[in-house]
Amino acid sequence: MSLTDSKLRNIKSPYNGPREVADRDGLTARITKNAMITFNYRFRWHGKQQRIKIGRYPDMKLSLARIKTGELRQALQDGLDPRCYAVQQSGGRLLGDICNDFMDIYAIKELSSKSVILYKSFINKYIMPNYNIDVERYRYTEWVKFLDTVRTNTSAANAGSILKRLKTVIRWSKSRGEIKDSFCLDIPIKAIGTTQSQRDRVLEWSEVAGLWRQIESSRATPKTKACVQLLILTGARNAEIREAKRAEFKLDDAVWVLPKERSKTGKAIRRPLSDHSIHILELLDFIYGVERQYLIEGAQRDKCLTTHSINRYVQRLNEVLKYEHFVPHDFRRTISTRLSEKRVMPHVTEKMLGHELGGIMAIYNKHDWIDEQKAAYQLYWNELKTHVFQ
């Protein structure tokens, strides 16, 4: 049934009816639980369903929404993308277009593959449904409502993260002279959410030993066990181990060379291997063969183990052990802290973690203290072994 002004006026909070009500010619009204009503034009472009936000009721009357819909519908019939037509009519820059340009011109060429994946997910989930936001004309309170919805549907920390990404994209457009300003840039995170809390979890020796024993006794596949154990023993990042190629590991030299293409710093990282790390690698070779592409293969031979698989396994370990909750990234903090307690120097543990040194040392000192790293890795395994067999 078509919409009427009477029906729209009678929608009150809390609203429990259908979330979207169709009018005609592609015009719909989206209604939140708080009875916020937004007019949208739905259409198909190159076989994919698209949506343009037209305006918000009662600021925009139903009659005007129908007029706008007619204009967009005519543009579609003339072979024009209604989203581009909307930009031409408003004279402003749409959030969706800015994000697409950000990806094509900057992100894909300059950012890491992981950052690109994060931005793509951000755009698909939060930008595409709000493609038609004019970043210069969108009011402060409208941005806040948009981010409040993110907070309600997810979390305060996620709303803060989304605001940061929005600001990054909008500042990029502003720096290019495409827009003059946006109210979004004025919103403090505390107004709509919180910042992501920084983890400080460090496992005690008894916890690392208990975790190791649980891994050994679990019924997980050898490759899943090996992945987590190597994360514990090397302090490497999750993806550095999961996505590692077998060819990166030189067992005769007891060293793993992470190529610069996979390094977060954009520079190759040499990591020595303790005796037990080599034992784990040799066991993988025995089971899965030396000629494999990835050190730890996933369900398919040409694919690496997924982060979901590791996180799911670590969660199961959490449930069994009932320690204070830990995640794979906490193993990095643990190896650095426990070795520091054993008087291993900070510049050595920083190199073990694959970090760049700060200050003048970052510019002039390119040494990686490979011998000191080797001694530290062996010390860590020897200490862990002592606690495991207590």
pLDDT in tens, 63-88: 989 998 998 999 888 888 887 676 55
For residue 322, give the amino acid letter: K
Q: What is the pLDDT of residue 360?
A: 56
- Answer yes or no: is pLDDT of 385 > 90: yes
Both tokens of 208, joined, read 């690392």
- Answer yes or no: is pLDDT of 106 > 70: yes
pTM for the model: 0.61
For residue 370, give the amino acid letter: I
Q: Where are the alpha helices (DSSP H) in the chain?
A: 5-9, 62-77, 82-90, 95-101, 108-110, 113-122, 140-153, 156-175, 189-192, 205-217, 222-234, 238-242, 275-288, 307-321, 330-341, 346-352, 359-364, 370-388
| 192, 157 Cβ separation under 8 angstroms | no
Q: How confident is residue 361, by pLDDT bands cut at 50, 70 and 90?
A: low
Domains annotated on the chain, with CATH: 5-90 (3.30.160.390), 95-192 (1.10.150.130), 205-388 (1.10.443.10)
Angle (CA) 352 355 359, round 5°: 125
pLDDT in tens, 113-170: 778 888 999 999 999 989 889 898 899 999 999 999 999 999 999 999 999 999 999 9
Q: What is the pLDDT of residue 87?
A: 56
- Answer yes or no: is pLDDT of 364 > 70: no
In whole angstroms, what separates CA 261 from the centre of its chain? 19
Phi, psi of 246, rounded to the nearest 5 degrees: -60, -35
